[in-house]
Structure 1
Amino acid sequence: MPRPPAVGAAAPDFELPGIVLSTSPAPEIRRGTYRLSERPARPLLLAFYPGDDTPVCTRQLCSYSAGLDGFASVGTDVWAISRQDLDSHESFASGRGIELPLLSDLDGTVTAAYGIAVPGLGLRRSVFLVDVAGIVRWRHVGLVGLSFPSREDLLAAVRSLDR
């Protein structure tokens, strides 16, 4: 099984389907395809989470979504990835007001490429900061998955990047 990419290593490229909730002017869900190699030239936080509508995942993604203005102010995007399908993501985003892209890794290919797959359980809660060149500059790979990096920790990691 692959290991998570080390800080300084290239982030594995991927293409996944995803949804994003927009609440302005009216709530709307947009589906699309997300490619790591085709994202805007800005740092990106990839937040891998075990499941929609679970207690810790809900706290984590609601926190990150509530902080999107802070991430935007430091020129950083946030994408969240789990193994649920797009319908599950739509329900989760709509019910909780989560406005960051939720990507679907149904077959676990991306989770495996990032070395965070847990056979029989899904994935290890993890966050990777990928710079504009596609290099991992910071990472947090959870052992148990009951905690997650705070918005403040993530913003500090982004601010530490040499731009």
Structure 2
Amino acid sequence: MALQVGDRIPKFTAIDSNGNVFDSSSIVGVKPAVFYFYPKDDTPGCTKQACGFRDQYEDFKDLGAEVIGISSDDLDSHQNFIKKYQLPFILLSDTEKKIKTLFGVKPNFFGLIPGRVTYIVDRNGVIQLIFDSFVAENHILNALAKIKKIVE
């Protein structure tokens, strides 16, 4: 069952882009956050989305929020993607699609392409906005606007 606005982000662990175990409780319940699921590293739409979050990352940080990207790509792919585009935020490897399933992220285009969904959570870990759009660029603006409202 998919998570809804008002739900609390569930606890999970995953390997981050540095090869370390990321525990969601290190952020959930501590500060506002953007968890964005994307289809694949270094593809046109996903690169636009990642670079958009990169370009606005300081705005998110200034608001006390963290940005976390999640895809089924492995550690090597994430490390190459981060290096190529100088991405300053965490990428998590969900190779077994456990986190995607936990959140209820559905594939697009008749199940052919992994979903592109962004979850914006407040400092208590409660989902304030779910943005589901295949238009990559729209995720950044919607996430930043919602984070601004949350921290005001």
- Structure 1 residues 109, 76: CA separation in 2 closer, same or farther (over 3 Å shift)? same
Q: In proportion to residue count, which structure has more strand?
A: 1
- 1:47-86 to 2 correspondence within 5 Å? 47-86=36-75
Query: Displaced runs of 4+ in structure 1, greater than 4 A?
Result: none
1:36 is aligned with what amino acid?
S
- Structure 1 residues 105, 122: CA separation in 2 closer, same or farther (over 3 Å shift)? farther
CA RMSD of aligned residues (A): 1.9
- 1:97-116 to 2 correspondence within 5 Å? 97-116=86-105
1:109 is aligned with what amino acid?
K
| 1:13 paired residue number | 11
CA distance in 2, matches of 1:79, 1:141: 16
C-alpha contact 1:37 1:134 (8 A) present in aligned 2: no
Unaligned runs of 5+ in 2: none
C-alpha contact 2:36 2:70 (8 A) present in aligned 1: yes
C-alpha contact 2:37 2:117 (8 A) present in aligned 1: yes
- Structure 1 residues 162, 92: CA separation in 2 closer, same or farther (over 3 Å shift)? closer
Count the aligned residue pairs: 149
Q: Which has the larger radius of gyration?
A: 1
1:116 is aligned with what amino acid?
V
Q: Tell me which of 16, 19, 22 is aligned to 1:31.
A: 19
TM-score (norm 2): 0.89
Larger mean CA deviation between 120-129 and 58-67 belongs to 120-129
1:130 is aligned with what amino acid?
V
Asked if residue 121 in structure 1 is aligned to residue 112 in structure 2, the reply is: yes
- Structure 1 residues 48, 150: CA separation in 2 closer, same or farther (over 3 Å shift)? closer
CA distance in 2, matches of 1:159, 1:66: 16
Larger mean CA deviation between 113-122 and 101-110 belongs to 113-122
Q: Any idea what the Cα deviations from partners look like across 1:97-133, whole Å, max 9, x if unmatched?
A: 1111110000001101111143853521010011222
Compute the displacement of 1:12 (Å).
2.2
Q: In proportion to residue count, which structure has more helix?
A: 2
C-alpha contact 2:35 2:70 (8 A) present in aligned 1: yes
CA distance in 2, matches of 1:58, 1:35: 25
CA distance in 2, matches of 1:77, 1:89: 18
C-alpha contact 2:31 2:123 (8 A) present in aligned 1: yes
Unaligned runs of 5+ in 1: 20-29
SS class of match (1:45)? strand
CA distance in 2, matches of 1:79, 1:122: 20
CA distance in 1, matches of 2:106, 2:99: 9
